[in-house]
Structure 1
Amino acid sequence: MKLLTEELRKTIPPLYSTEHEDDPLVRVKFFTPDSNWTWYVLEFDGEDTFFGLVEGFETELGYFSLSELESTRGPLGLPIERDLYFNPVPLSKIYPKFKQWKEEDL
């Protein structure tokens, strides 16, 4: 399965375009089927770099790359997958503490 289709690419806002939004939409969800890592995409540079929420050892906003996701395998050797049934939702629905982060930045 292709992690990111051309059609899906067109739906993801460019990097930095949602940084002033109160509650940006998460557009895509990637996950490891054999561990607890999940990547939620908010923005994309159109080529390789995403910005979004990463849940793994910690939960944090940051950058990650499509090429890394495509080459990474979980502990049982399974590749990262895209959640085919994921629908865009506000970031606060996935991570309620996001609203606190935004308020602390003010």
Structure 2
Amino acid sequence: MELIPENLFENIPDLYETERNINPTCHIKLFTPTSIFTWYIIEFSKDDMDTCYGLVKGFESELGYFSLKELEAIKGNLGVGVERDISFTPTSLGIVRKLK
């Protein structure tokens, strides 16, 4: 993956591992520098190495599934793509929901 180094996937739960957790951890933050969209990865498919489950913040905030390959293909204004916030530390969903 271009967006996320392989060693970071080791600590992310596989899909459905946190489904009974009411306040799971958001492990990785991805964002578009030229728009309002941000993706927080809670789970990652170890099978297809593409499907993620997490919080998507844009015009609204919602939990759902998204594809890393699709995110890597996004090119916004000035050709700038999605980036990983290298300063983000794993944070509970409850706290991330409150972030602006």
Whether TM exceeds 0.5 here: the answer is: yes
RMSD: 1.4
Within the candidate set 61, 85, 88, 1:86 is matched to: 88
Amino acid at match of 1:59: S
Moved segments of 4+, more than 3 Å: none
Q: Distance in 2 between matches of 1:22 and 1:81?
A: 27
State the match for 1:19 in structure 2: 19
The SS at the match of 1:57 is coil
Amino acid at match of 2:18: T
Shift of 1:75: 3.0
Give TM-score, length-normalised by structure 2.
Answer: 0.90
State the match for 2:34 in structure 1: 34
> 5 Å matches for 1:1-106?
2-46=2-46, 47-96=49-98
Q: Which 5+ residue runs of structure 2 have no aligned equivalent? A: none
The SS at the match of 1:76 is helix
The SS at the match of 1:39 is strand
Indicate the structure (1 or 2) with the bigger Cα radius of gyration.
1
Q: Which 5+ residue runs of structure 1 have no aligned equivalent? A: 97-106
